[in-house]
Structure 1
Amino acid sequence: MEIVTLPPTAQGPATWFTGDVWFDVLAGPPAPSRLRVNRVRFAPGARTFWHRHAAGQSLHVTQGVARVGTRDGRVVELRPGQTVWCPPDEWHWHGARPDAFMEHLAMWETTDARDGSETTWAEAVTTDQYEATPEEADR
């Protein structure tokens, strides 16, 4: 057993996020573990840029209402207790609704390279993409 010292809360960089976003690393153990878990807090209207994960990503909403979108234009809203799976290499974004804060757990695996290349970042989500009419995720 090993007690792990985790880094302090960090603000999400403007190269990955629109709006105010803060995250805490909850799990990032050394090799051979590949698990990564961050608690991410989004201010109203804040969201990620488009990105994809080599091994996929699970998002579990703990507070507020999340919006998650994909390149085909689909946007879903998720409530506390709901989880969405974004398969490997699926371009997606996630963030808070325009009128409320949101918190989720972001869970993914590193690649063998362990150099951050498991996530590929792209351009910012446009206002039109973010404001697309969302559908409710099934409960």
Structure 2
Amino acid sequence: MNYEPGAQPPTPNYDYAPGQPSARRKHSGLGIASFVMSIIALLGYFIAFFLIIAAVGQAIQDPAYIEETITNDPAAIMGTLAIFGAAIINLIALILGIVGLIIKNRKKVFAIIGTVLSSLSVLLIVFLFIVGTLQQL
């Protein structure tokens, strides 16, 4: 590099002072939302399964009574609706987690955890749905 005599060399453009740690990145807001929503969805699944088990547990001695209990018992109906609600929350959490992974200059810890939790939950629900459908055949 040639400089004119007596000219100062150009100073580097630092975003931070030399010797100081770089600016701290913030957590991805979408990643945090994904993590929280996936935890809420998991709690929703547990509550739904307990409601359904409580409703069907009383009628387990008479298999003919189970179908009537599932269609008429408020706990079983609420449990079924809770599964669908938790699944919708889970899919939204999965989408937010993926978008949180794409955003640049943000920490991705919560986005990774939220994406993993929600994707495992989605896979588990799809697996249980397939097993339940195959048992009907």
Structures share fold, TM-score greater than 0.5: no
**Structure with higher helix content:** 2
**Bigger relative contact order, structure 1 or 2, given CA contacts below 8 A and separation 6+?**
2
Q: Which TM-score applies when normalising by structure 1?
A: 0.24
Q: Which TM-score applies when normalising by structure 2?
A: 0.24
